[in-house]
Structure 1
Amino acid sequence: MNPETLEPAGEVVAIRGAVVDVRFAGRALPKIDEAVRVRRPGGTDVMIEVQAHLDACTLRGIALQ
């Protein structure tokens, strides 16, 4: 959990163009078609729309910005 927002914290594990894989260890994944906010180094955010669950802890999404 992110202590500032109480949102689940994930880790970006792969980026291929606008396709982003995010791993959430030990918790349920966001639902398909939901938006996930990813904080980039430097403090800017990118919204990712969940497209698929690759396994029990990894999602694949499309960066919207």
Structure 2
Amino acid sequence: MYREFDWGGRPLGPEAISMIRQLLREYCTARSCQHQGPEAEDAARRLVVLYQNGIDDAGELRRLLPGN
């Protein structure tokens, strides 16, 4: 299991997971990074932490990703 994702924030439901996956796809496409690479993993961690800390708006999450 990935301990990096166990921050104890609010749980990720199916809609949140879908939104985060879409944001991660956009992020990787815009930066030409591999979906399984370290840059994508860092972005995914950041998205999960932000969501679990109460930010659930896709636009705000997108804006808070590195490089935006």
TM-score bin, normalised by smaller chain: under 0.3
Structure with the largest fraction of strand: 1
TM-score w.r.t. structure 2 length? 0.24
Q: Which has the higher contact order (CA 8 A, sep 6+)?
A: 2
